[in-house]
Structure 1
Amino acid sequence: MIRIAEVSAHKSEYMELLLLGDEQEEMIMKYLDRGRLFVMKSDDTVCAVCVVTDEGDFTLELKNIAVSEKFQRQGFGRALISYVENKFTGAFKRLILGTGDSPLTVPFYEKCGFRKCGVIKNFFIDNYDHPIYEAGVQLCDMICFEKELSDNYGTDRESIAEIR
Structure 2
Amino acid sequence: MQNLNFTEITRQKRDFLPLLLLADDGEHLENYLESGSLFLLSNREKTPIAVALVAYKQAGIYEIENFAVSTHFQKSDYGRKMMQFLLEYYQEKIKATEIVLGTDDVSGNVQFYEKCGFTITHKIPNYFIEHYENPIFEGKSQLKDKIYLRRKLR
The TM-score with structure 1 as length reference comes to 0.87
Higher RCO, 1 or 2 (CA under 8 Å, sep at least 6)?
Answer: 1
Identity of aligned residues (%): 34
Q: How far 1:134 sits from its partner (Å)?
A: 1.3
Query: AA paired with 2:8?
Result: E
Please, which runs of 5 or more residues in structure 2 have no aligned partner? none
Give the aligned CA root-mean-square deviation in angstroms. Answer: 1.1
Displacement of 1:128 in angstroms is 1.2
CA distance in 2: counterparts of 1:147 and 1:27, whole angstroms: 23
Deviation at 1:103, TM superposition (A): 4.4
- Contact conserved, 1:102 with 1:135, CA < 8 A, in 2? no
Q: Aligned equivalents of 1:86 and 1:136: distance in 2?
A: 36
Alignment match of 1:94 (pick from 92, 98, 102): 98
After TM superposition, list the pairs within 5 Å mapping 1:98-113 onto structure 2: 98-113=102-117
Report the CA distance shift for 1:78/1:133 in structure 2 as closer, same or farther (over 3 A). Answer: same
Q: Which amino acid aligns with 1:89?
A: Q
Distance, in Å, in 1 between the alignment partners of 2:107 and 2:17 is 25
Q: 1:86 to 1:108 in 2, by over 3 A?
A: same
Counterpart position of 2:69: 67
**Contact 1:104 1:135 (8 Å CA) reproduced:** no
Map 1:39-54 to 2 at 5 A.
39-43=40-44, 44-54=46-56
Deviant stretches of 4+, over 4 Å = none
Cα separation, 1, equivalents of 2:86 and 2:110: 19
Unaligned runs of 5+ in 1: 151-164
Using the TM superposition, give the Cα deviation of residue 12 of structure 1 relative to its aligned residue in structure 2, in angstroms. 0.8
Separation in structure 2 between the aligned mates of residue 115 and residue 135 of structure 1, nearest angstrom: 25
SS at match of 2:32: helix
**3-state SS, counterpart of residue 96 of structure 1:** strand
Deviations 1:85-109 (Å, cap 9, x if unpaired)?
1011152111100000014211111
Scaled by the length of structure 2, what TM-score is found? 0.93
Equivalent residue letter for 1:92: A
Residue in 2 that maps onto 1:155: none
Work out the CA distance in 2 between the residues paired with 1:7 and 1:142.
28
Measure, in 1, the Cα distance between the counterparts of 2:112 and 2:136.
19
1:33 aligns with 2:34: yes
Once the two structures are superposed, the pairs formed by residues 110-129 of structure 1 within 5 Å of their partners are 110-129=114-133
